[in-house]
Amino acid sequence: MQPSIDAAWLMELTHIRRKIRWGEEPDNPLLISRWLAHENHEHTQQLSQEELRQGYENQFRLLLETLMDELVPSHWRCKTLTFPVSVNRWRLSAPWHK
């Protein structure tokens, strides 16, 4: 039996989060953009303000934990430090924020 779309989406999201957190692909700058695309899947349009806030907070924590981990390659840590500006700009341009 094939997993549902939501289960497959969640498995992929978990996989991408792990890659970001542990710096498994430090030379892949598009990984964070891919992660954001998954985090902002169309089902997030149906979430309450509190659920959205919690999701944004979890995204922030993931980036912060990655930044603080000295075992993660330094250039990847720097990427997570500079990326939040892009994250906020991207979110504000999302269709559900208009």
**pLDDT averaged per 10 residues, the chain (length 98):** 69 94 93 86 75 86 93 91 58 50
Q: What is the pLDDT of residue 6?
A: 79
d(CA 87, CA 42): 17
User: CB-based contacts of 84: which residues, under 8 Å, 6+ apart?
Assistant: 60, 63
Rounded to two decimals, what is the model's pTM?
0.76
CA distance 57 to 65: 12
